[in-house]
Every structure is written in structure tokens, then in C-alpha cells.
Structure 1
Amino acid sequence: MTPADHERLAWADALKGALILLVVFWHVVLKTYLQVDWRIGLPIPGMWGLLSDIIWPFLMPLFLLVSGVFAADALSRPGASVLRSRVLRFLYLYLLWTLIHMAAMWAFPDFPTAVPRSVAEFVEAITISPPNTWYLYALALYFLLARALRRLPTWAVLVPAAALTVLVASGVIDIVSNRGSMLSNLLFFLIGARFAPAIKRFATRPRPALVLLLTAGYAALYGGMRVLDAATVPGVWPLVSLAGVAMGLSLAPLLPAIPLLGAWLTRLGRHTLPVYLLHMPILVLVDAVVIGWVSDGRGAVQLVAAVVLPIMLTALVTAGSALLGAWIEKDGPRWLLELPTRMTSPRVPWRVAGATVMLIIIGVVAARASALPAAPEAMPQVAPQRAGEVSIGAVGDVLVYDTGHRTPEDRGRGHFDAVRSWFTEDLVTGNLEQAITADTGYDKCGGQDECLAFRSDPDVAPFLAGFDLLNLANNHSRDYGDAGFTNTRDLLADAGIRTVGERDEVAWTRVGDSVVAVVGFAPYDGFNRVTDLRHVRAVVRSAAAEADIVIVHAHMGAEGPGADVVHAGTETMFGENRGDPMAFAHAAVDAGADVVIGHGPHVLRGMEQYRGRIIAYSLGNFGGGGVFGAEEETRRGAYLSLRLRPDGALIEGTVHSLRFAPEDGAPLPDPSGSAASAMDERGRRDFGDHAIRVGSGGTLVMP
């Protein structure tokens, strides 16, 4: 290739450099940045997410098109030299770096990526896993494709391309699926290889006016697709992708001329392969260090991170991948050929081994640093009601209060007498939404109107007898400060009632031969936040690794008489992000939860079966006069009784209905079964075929 040829392809190198940056950026935003539990109240994360979505339709098609252009240049080279210097080297690096992926990422099961973490997954990744494997193989064999295409007339290329376009436009092939992506990427690669001279002529001369026109056209097509929600309409996605490819080609000749950045992009474009294959393990290690710190940050920390994090992480991951790739590549693939005959070959790949070991060590250290406490060897022991089973009794929000927002006159002595006969399960649990403490000198309301702070006097604690474990992860357990929270825990412990709810806390119980773990979640700092799904999965998975059954308490969602509907999306109340109950519950079950007990809305919600497990989105109020019984809808609650196998599968379940009067708030059995009927109706309305039905007598019927 002449110096002039190199000069003419500077635009292609610069374009590849820009595209690999966008690939890294897309993964940074989708897999790390948007996984942060943002609590800044500004739409900055959404703006970065929108930008990543805008670049996606053209990102890989344009990358493959440019790769096809480079493939065409191999036509002038001897086939043997290309096979040795390109194909074997490419396949070697692809296999090597995929192995490094697997070795470096096994310790991070919560990172959202499909990178292989086992031998079986590795074999699948290098053989049949679409779409990446196939177009990587196409690149490895590009000179064969290019040579074959050179001998074909133009119509022999255009006709199959047109046929594929018709199939996509008619919906026979889903271009958004992996299968469609594989075909479309291969199509763009073939077009780039076959029509390289025309593409070079188009992309060599800068045309600012054309850039503006094509950019405006792409923006209009993309915006229309999103506004009309037409991404899956046959023909729309390929049209948007083609518009983006045309825009990218028109921009290409401008890139090398950008001061400083242009030269850097051109150099980066000549080394895109190591960045593409190595950026994911680099990102996951950075993610392990950064994500928790940013999620738990407050105020200014989150605001600054929201603005700069995508740019910083993209630059860091790209630079780290390029440097690591250059270091590893110095070993070369020849040692593989020498190894069978020369075990003492001086070409032993010490850099490859060193890089892999380094990544593994960093991963192990990061994983251990963020590891959650293990289950204690000694834990409370309970004799099961039935051998080989575990029974759970669960209620929603508990408040020992009267209509005057005071402790009842009997100090709560008889508050639960009418329903205490229900408390027969191996483990009875609920959500205590108040402090039990003497006056601590601190009240979160500070005399403000329309603010509620719940406190019962210390002598109430013994009358909560019957509950074995109460969740304190909610918005009222710290109404009287940390001192009130600590006093509540101590007083309940003195009464023989355990508590759970602090961040990373797991309550363990051994029921017969089965270990039961209980974890509490709420939308607030100091607790395991329902909004931080990455942490949700980490905590639940840690508990599930050592427990036979995992019970999750979740204080989440909007509240009040109109909050009985469960739908996808975030729910808010009083300006607070109260989480996405469906996303939270599904994430918890995916991580190993067997039962999710929801509370917080103060009204009954339906129940859903997800992956064979039980999600009760809200069990309503279990007593609590005054505020909790202010409306008729909030004076109903449910007592959920479950019998589970040691693997968490349901044997039998029952909903006991209750009502209470607002005067003293004491729960009373409701013979009409109105709570059970409401949960059945709302479950069928919200979950359809996935609803857990509540039949006659309150019996659960799994779908």
C-alpha cells in the first residue's frame, strides 16, 4: 500500500477510533452509569442514557462497514501472508482475550453482561453465540470474502442484499434480534468490502453542508421512531441504521483534522481489536470500585459524578484496554505453534499470563472488599411445625397507635389478642413502622405540620409477643433518631423479638434442618435501598448462597387509598423515589429470594408468581389506629400463612383477612374475607396469567 493509500485511509482509522470510543461509552453508560442509584432529582442520567440510545442504531453497522473497507485492501496481498499475519493472529487474540474475560469476571455475577464465566459458556461464546461471534469470524476471514466478492459482478452482491432488505422490511427477519443483528452486520461488512472504492471516494473529501443535512435527517428519523414507538415496525430500524451510517461516513473526513483529538483517534483506530475485546473486564473492575461509592454518595458527589462519570470512565477503560492489549500482543501467537515441540521455548507468553493473573487478583480483591458478612455458625434454632417443611407467617405495616396518635390506654396489652391465634408458623414476621422508645429529645418533624413521627412508649414492646422477627427498614423506624432506632431494637430483643433492616444485615434462623435468611429493604439511606438494584441482587445472592430459604421484606411504592395498582415503573410519594416495585421484586427473586413481602402502600395489592416464587406486593396494614385507619381502604389487612419446602417451593398458602376500627387500631378477624377478595381481584387485574389467585377460604392458587 502506498503512502497515498495510507493518507486516504486516515479517515477510516479515525472513524474506527471514534466508533470504538462509542462502543466503550455505550457499555459504560448501560452497564455501569445507569446502574447507579441516582438520587439527585435531575434528569442528567436520563440525558446520558438518551445519548447512548441515539448512537446505537448505527454503531455496529458503521463499524462493520469500515471494517469491510479495510478488508478490501487485502486483495492486493498474497493469500498466505494475510492468513498468517491477519487471520491466525485475529483468531488467536479473540480466543485469548475471551479466556481473559472468563478468568477476570467470574467473581462478578451481578455485572450485567453475557461474557462467559464457565468453560461451557466459553465454548458457546466462540461457536454459536450471536451476534458478536459471527461477525468477528467474518472479520477474521475477511480476505476470503473479499476475494470471492471481487470475482462476482455487482448484481450478484446487490440482489442478495436487496432480498435481505425485503425480508427485514416484511418482518420475516427481526433486525433488532441477535439473528437480525448478525445478518445486518454481515451485510454491512460485505457492502464495505465490495464497494470500498466508492466509499473511499465519498469519505475522502469533507462536505460540511452534507454533514449538517445528513445529521438533521438522522435526528428526524430517530426522533420519529422513538416518539411513535416504532422501533419494532418492519423496515423502520434498518432505515434509521442506514441514515446513521450515511451520517457517520459524511463526518469521517472531518475527524483526522480535529486538533490533537484527530491524531489520537487515528492511532486508536489502528488498535480497535484489543479495546473491543478487553474493555469489558477492565470496565467490570472499575465498576466494582466505583459503583457502590457513587450509589451511596450524597448531594455534590452524585451531582458531579452524574455529569462527568461517563466521559471519565470511557477514557479510563479505553486507555487501559489499549495499553493492556499492546503489552499482551508483544508475546505474539507463534509460541502456540512452538509449544508442542519446544516446551522451553523462549517465547513463553509471560505477558499473557501476567495480565490474566493481574486481572484475577484485582477482581478477587475487589470482590472480597465488597463481600457481605457470612452466616454465623450459631443461629437461633426453631423446631418446625411439620418435619421437612418451613412455615412463614407475614403481615404488612404494624403500628401500635390509637386515633389520638398515642399509645393505647392499655399500653397495647390486648392489641393483637383477637388475631394472636394466627401466629402459629415457624417464623412470624412483619414490618414495624414506628419507634418504641422513651423521648430521645429528637423528633424528625420538629413541630412541623403535616409531618408524622410515630413513637410508642417502651412498655409496649412485650405486647408484640407472637412476632418472631420484625423489619425496621422503613421511613418511620428512625423518626426519633438513631438513639430511638437503637432503643427499639434493644427493647424488642429484651422481649424476645429479633429485628432486621440495617444495611447489609441478614437475620438467620435454623428451622429444623433448613436455614432461613430474612433481609429488609427500603428507599432510604442507612438501609438496603430498593432503588439500588445492583446492591439488591448482591445482598440477596449472598444470603441465598448460605440459606435454603430467603425471605425479603420490602417497604416500597406509593401509598394511600389510590395506590392499590402494581405497574412497571418508578413510584413516588411526597417527592420521594419509592422504587419500582416490580423491578425490585423480580431482581430479588432472580438473585435467589423465595418470598417477597411488600408493605408501605398501606393498602392491599395483588400477588404475583414469578419464576415459581411468591411476591406479595402489599399486605396492607396490620392494625394501627389514627393515621393508618384514616380511610376505609386502609383499615384492611392480610395475614399471609405459607408452608414451604426446604427449597422454597410453596406447599400451601392462606390469606387471613382482617379489619380494624380507627379508634384503637386493633386488628380483628374479618369473616367476610374482604382482604382476600381484594388481593385476588387486584392480582388478576395487574398480573393476568401470572397472578396468584386467592380462592375460597383465602387459599392460594398458583397459576
Structure 2
Amino acid sequence: MENDLHRDSHDARQNRRYDLVGSVATNVADGFTLVAVGDLIVTRPQTVGCDSRFGAIVSILRDADVTFGNMETTIFDIRSFKGSPQAEYGGAYHISLPELGPDLKIMGFNIVSRANNHALDWGVEGMRETSRVLDQNGIVHAGAGENLAQAGAARFLETARGRVALVSFASTFTPLSRACDPAGEAPARAGVNALRLATNVVVPPQMLGSLKRIRDALPGFRLVNENPNRVVLAGTTYKAGDKAGYSYEVDTGDIADILRNIRRGKQFADFCIVTNHGHEPGNWSQEPPDYEQSLAHRLIDAGADAYVGHGPHQLRGIEIYNGRPIFYSVGNFIMDDLRTPIGADMFAAYGKDPRIDTDAEVTLAEMARGYETDLGLSDPVFYESVVTVSRFEQNQLSELRLYPIELGCSKRFANRGTPRLASPPQARAILERLQELSKPYFTVITIENDVGVVRLRPSSTP
């Protein structure tokens, strides 16, 4: 009997130890609020001389326990910078003044993601200097580091209602910016926490037959293990499907690392935010790529309390899964895109001459061209977004509020990009579009006083 009691006591201690060490349960105080916004493409301080509509947004940001954005620029003083613009960059050279650090803090930002395609526009030196500025201003950041272990690790923010972990990764990144760990005598590589994707182009079966004939006619082709539903041509994989489009396969090793880092982060925190920076299938698309919904569900099942997608520069739908918000894209928050200076490679890419043309003229040419389509980044859809405010009760999402914002698309180049609360007609248009984008996920968004609202009833058990 005494041995049985001893065994029961030992088992109880072991169970308690697992609860303390292995649990990924959410544990925030009621009323915990998370503000999540999209890309911070910002070159200068925003709070100096701001108008009342921007001031109203700042009040929303500062009222939350956690205020998150995607840091899609590097921060340093070009006059003392020791690095250089990279030959491989994220489509543009993003740079901001050091004064941005304290300005972000004034706005209310206390946690930001760093894994994106612009993190190493100015090399490892730019990445490190940005980390220094953020650290100096007490802004927690994740997603970039001296090796993959550091880039992938959760970073932590202490709040009055609980400790918050952030895991940041990018499915869109420049190949040379991917962080890696050391192997044997080979040292580690600094960079971003990357999720590699294998891209497949989906075509109707009759098109696949034409592609096979082209492949077979090319010199040097040798057939090995023919797959009737798949063709590899000039390094691109095509597969048969009902309609033309894109399909993605995630790297299993990268996913395993991300899931483990979520578990690690949640085991030492009360709440976990996971963010993904991805442009797939393209900035033209209002729908997320085919892999993303199942991935977001897996991440939440592993312990994430919110999944925040950003990258395509426009809004995508919202899903509520197991009492947790999934934002497939929160669009842009600031697009103050006065890039200066920019590298010579970008001048050349747009047919400009740095001895004749200006940085602004190159930037305007880049925005007009757009990505993968004739929908340029000057299109009004990229200047409309929302500020999301998620409120949690009983450790589940109880209410989601969506404040429509506009970034001044019609303003002159030097003045556009700063967010302001949208006017009532524009606010309704933004929210009605978001309602349609969210219908496939059965998310019901009501519009109340020009604010989108999603209400949920928390379950009776935490």
C-alpha cells in the first residue's frame, strides 16, 4: 500500500512537471489585447506633425498589451554605415533613419517581425545595425539573427497580462539571405528564418501534353521515372489540374524547425504570435497560396495563439480557428516609400542613370511596374488596410475589431504612405471587401460605426 502511494505521488509529480515544462496552454489575463498591423515600409519618423486621424490610430496602438508590425526596412545612418547595397536585394533597397527607432516606440510598437525579403538589402551589416537600433529602443524582434537557431528562436515581451512569444519566418526571401547553422568546420550564416517552398505551375491536362512534347524535343533530355501528371521543363515543375494556377509544397525540415520553435516559445510564455512574410502566389492575388491554411492550422495546433500573414501589400481574408485569429494578410500599415539612397543595381533594373535620374524617379518606376502583373504598387488597393485589435477572454478570442485605414494614395509622392482612419465611405468599402474575402472561412464581420467587428463567445473552460 505504501509503495502504491509512493508510486502515485511520483506519478503526480511527474504529471505536474509535464504541465510546467511541456504545456503549450494559453495563460493570459482576461482583457488581453493584441494589435496586429502589416508592413512597416517607413523611411522617417511619423509622429512629428501628425494629423488627428493618424493620432487616433496611435491611440489604438498604444492601448493594447501587444502591438505588432512587420519591420520591412533596415535602420542606419548612411553617413557612418560600413556596409553596402547588396547585388541580391528584395526588389528595392529599403532604408530608414535611426530616428525611426524611438518613433516606433512612441507609436506604441513593442514587438516586430524581421524575417522578410528586405532584411538583408544592405547586407549583414544593415541587419545588425537594425537589431542594435531596435534593442536600444526596447522593441522586441524575431526572425533574423547570426545563425538559423537565433533567427528561428522565439523572442519574448513582458506585459502586465502575460508573457508573449514571437516566432517570425518568411516564405518569400532572397536566396542568399537564408540563415543556416554551422556544420562541421563550416561556420554559420547570418540571415532570416526561411520557409522554403517548392513551386508547381498547375495547367490543364492538354497543356501538360504540349509541355511534354517541348521537353522531349530539347537536346540533352533523358527520361527517368516518368510521372504522367508532372513535367519538369527548364527547371520549372508543371502538374496537371482543373485550372491554371500555382501550387506549393513546404520544406518538411523547415516546418519541423518552426513547429519546434513554437513549442519552445509557448513553453516559456503565456501567449504566442507566429508571423509569415510571403508574397505567394503574387501581390496581385487577394487569395492566399494553397499551402497556407493547412499550415496556419498546424501552427495553432502546436501552440500559436495568432497567425499573422503579411507580404502581398494588400488585405486577404480572416479566419477564426479554435478560438484563434488567422490573418492571411494585414496589408500595409505604413508605406512611406521615400527610398534614398538606393543602389546602382536598382537604377539599372529600371533603365535609369544615377547621373541623370533621381532616387524618387526610380522608385516611382518600380511602383508603376508592379510584381508579376500589370497591377503596380501605385494601385489604390495597396493603400487601404485595417488595424486589427484582438481581445481575449478565458484564453480565447472573444472579439476582433477592424479599424479601416488609408495611406493617402492620391497625395503627392512626398506626403503619401502615412496611415489615417478612413473616411466613412472608404471605410465601408474596405470592410465590405474584407467581408467577401473572409466568407470562404465562414467569418462573419459586421460593420458598426465604420468599424468591422467579429464577436465570439468563449468556451466555458479555459
TM bracket (short chain): 0.5 to 0.7
Letter in 2 for 1:698: G
1:435 to 70, 74, 82: 74
User: Does residue 484 of structure 1 match 2:123?
Assistant: no
Of 305, 323, 326, which aligns to 1:615? 326
Checking the alignment, whether the CA contact within 8 Å between 1:522 and 1:555 is kept in structure 2 is: yes
Question: Residue 261 of structure 2 aligns to which amino acid in structure 1?
Answer: V
Correspondence 1:679 to 2:429: no
**Cα gap change, 1:541 to 1:430, in 2 (>3 Å):** same
Q: How much has 1:483 moved relative to structure 2? A: 1.2
Shift of 1:567: 4.8
Query: Which of the residues 155, 160, 172 maps onto 1:507?
Result: 155
For 1:559 and 1:421, how far apart are their aligned partners in 2? 35
Q: Which moved more, 1:670-679 or 1:388-397?
A: 670-679
Q: Give a deviation string over 1:318-337, Cα, whole Å, max 9, x none.
A: xxxxxxxxxxxxxxxxxxxx
The change in CA–CA distance for 1:560 and 1:414 in structure 2 (over 3 A counts) is farther
Are residues 591 and 398 of structure 1, via their aligned partners in 2, closer, same or farther at CA, if it must alter by over 3 Å? same
Cα distance in structure 2, aligned partners of 1:457 and 1:513: 33
For 1:463 and 1:679, the matched residues in 2 are separated by 30
**Structure 1 residues 482 and 692: CA distance shift in structure 2, 3 A:** farther
Deviations 1:404-441 (A, max 9, x none): xxx4xx77635654521211101111001010112343
Residue 493, structure 1, aligned to residue 135, structure 2? yes
Q: Secondary structure at the match of 1:623?
A: strand
The answer to whether the 8 Å contact 1:655/1:694 transfers is no
Matched to 2:319, the amino acid is: E
By how many angstroms is 1:607 displaced? 0.6
SS in 2 for 1:622: strand
Counterpart among 408, 411, 426 of residue 65 in structure 2: 426
Match of 1:634 among 356, 361, 382: 382
Q: How do 1:213-292 residues align onto structure 2 when only pairs under 5 Å count?
A: none
For residue 644 of structure 1, report the CA deviation from its aligned partner: 1.2
Q: 1:616 to 1:670 in 2, by over 3 A?
A: same
Q: Which amino acid aligns with 1:549?
A: F
For 2:66 and 2:48, locate their aligned partners in 1 and report how far apart those are by CA, in whole Å. Answer: 22
Q: Partner residue of 2:184?
A: none
The answer as to whether partners of 1:413 and 1:460 remain within 8 angstroms in 2 is no
Residues 65 and 160, structure 2, Cα contact 8 Å, conserved in 1: no
Q: How many Å apart are 1:390 and its aligned residue?
A: 1.4
Residue number among 387, 393, 410 corresponding to 1:645 in the alignment: 393
Residues 694/417 of structure 1: CA separation in 2 closer, same or farther (3 Å cut): same
Aligned length: 297
Taking the aligned partners of 2:22 and 2:40, their CA distance within structure 1 comes to: 30
* Corresponding residue of 2:194: 529
Residue deviations 1:11-37, cap 9 Å, x none?
xxxxxxxxxxxxxxxxxxxxxxxxxxx
Match of 1:654 among 376, 395, 401: 401
Structural mapping, 1:133-144, within 5 Å: none
2-structure distance, mates of 1:622, 1:445: 28
Contact 1:398 1:433 in 2 (8 A): yes
Does the alignment pair 1:453 with 2:97? no
User: Quick check: 615-624 or 465-474, which moved more?
Assistant: 465-474
| Displacement after TM superposition at 1:489 (Å) | 1.7
How far did 1:391 drift?
Answer: 0.9
Q: For the Cα contact (< 8 Å) 1:514–1:646, is it kept in 2? A: no
CA contact (8 A) 2:311 2:329 kept: yes
| Distance change in 2, residues 1:644/1:702 (3 Å) | closer
Q: Relative to 1, partners in 2 of residues 1:411 and 1:657: Cα closer, same or farther, differing over 3 Å? A: closer
Contact 1:629 1:661 in 2 (8 A): no
Inter-partner Cα distance in structure 2 for 1:563 and 1:676: 18
Structure 1 residues 557, 694: closer, same or farther in 2, change over 3 A?
farther
* Deviation, structure 1 residue 589: 0.9
* 8 Å Cα contact 1:400-1:412 kept in structure 2: no
CA contact 1:521–1:528 (8 Å) conserved in 2: yes
Query: Unaligned 5+ residue runs, structure 1?
Result: 1-372, 376-383, 402-406, 569-579
Query: In the alignment, is residue 602 of structure 1 matched against residue 244 of structure 2?
Result: no
Partner of residue 540, structure 1: 262
**% identical aligned pairs:** 27
- The AA in structure 1 aligned to 2:72 is E
Q: Is the CA contact (8 Å cut-off) linking 2:140 and 2:157 kept in structure 1?
A: no
Code of the residue aligned with 1:529 in structure 2: it is: A
Contact 2:279-2:311 at 8 Å conserved across structures:
yes
Contact 1:629–1:660 (CA under 8 A) maintained in structure 2? no
Q: Which amino acid aligns with 1:459?
A: E
Q: 1:558 to 1:513 in 2, by over 3 A?
A: closer
Equivalent residue for 1:469? 111
**Pair 599,694 (structure 1): closer, same or farther in 2 beyond 3 Å:** farther
Partners of 1:518 and 1:457 lie apart in 2 by: 25
Picking from 15, 24, 34, the partner of 1:392 is 34
Q: 1:545 to 1:498 in 2, by over 3 A?
A: closer
Q: CA 1:700/1:456 → structure 2, altered by over 3 Å: closer, same or farther?
A: same
How much does 1:616 deviate? 0.5
The letter of the residue matching 1:413 is V
Which of the two has higher C-alpha Rg? 1
Residues 388 and 610 (structure 1), Cα distance of their counterparts in 2 relative to 1, 3 Å cut = closer
Unaligned runs of 5+ in 2: 1-20, 145-150, 180-191, 197-253, 338-366, 368-375, 458-462
Q: Which amino acid aligns with 2:194?
A: R
Measured in 1, the distance between the counterparts of 2:318 and 2:265 equals 23
- Residue pair 1:395, 1:640 contacting (<8 A) in 2 also: yes
CA offset digits 1:245-266 (Å, max 9, x no partner)? xxxxxxxxxxxxxxxxxxxxxx
Partner of 1:700: 454
User: Displacement of 1:509 after TM fit?
Assistant: 2.6
Q: Aligned residue for 2:208? A: none
Distance 1:692 1:485 in 2: 40
Alpha-carbon distance in 2 for matches of 1:559, 1:443 = 27
Q: How far apart are residue 497 of structure 1 and its match?
A: 2.1
* Structure 1 residue 596, shift from structure 2 partner: 0.5
Which residue identity lines up with residue 637 of structure 1 in the other structure?
Answer: S
